[in-house]
Amino acid sequence: MAERSGPMKWLRGMMLNHMPLMITCREFEDFILAYLEGELPGRQRFVFDLHLKVCRECRDYLAAYRRTVAVTKRAFDDDDAPVPDAVPEDLIKAVLAARDA
C-alpha cells in the first residue's frame, strides 16, 4: 500500500491551517468587495494581496469580478447596454446583491 500523504501535502496543510498570513480562496472571495472599495485595513489588504500573488484562480476571479462591476455600472447608466454573455450570471447576481446590501 502506498503512502499518499507525503511531506508536501502535510506542509501545505500546515500553511493553510496555521500560518496567519494564509487565507483560503473562500475567505478571499469574502474580502473582494471590501478590497475593491478600499475598505480593507492594512493587514488584511496585505494578506489579500499575498493570496493574489500565489493563487492564479483568485487572480482570474478578481479580474472577472472587476469586469462585471464595470459592466453592471454601464448597464445601469444606459438601459440599452447589453450585458455580454462572457460574464457569468451568478457573478452578476452577487454584484447586484452587494449593491442592495
40 makes contact with Zn ion (CB under 5 A): no
Q: Which is nearer to Zn ion, 4 or 26 (CB)?
A: 26
Q: Exactly one of 11, 14, 25, 70 binds Zn ion (CB under 5 A); which one?
A: 25
Question: Closest CB to Zn ion among 88 and 96?
Answer: 88
DSSP 83: P
Grid cell 444606459 in the structure block, residue = 78
- Choosing from 22, 55, 92, 95, the residue that interacts with Zn ion (CB under 5 A) is 55
Q: Whole-number minimum distance, CB 55 to Zn ion, in Å?
A: 3
Identify which range of 9-17, 25-33, 36-44, 62-70 contacts Zn ion by CB under 5 A.
25-33
C-alpha cell at 25: 480562496
d(CA 90, CA 98): 12
Per-residue DSSP letter, 72: H
Give dist(CA 92, CA 99) in Å, integer: 11
Determine, following the binding rule CB under 5 A, whether residue 91 of this chain makes contact with Zn ion.
no
Cβ neighbours of 58 (radius 10 Å)? 21
Q: Summarize as ranges the residues that interact with Zn ion (CB under 5 A).
A: 25, 55, 58
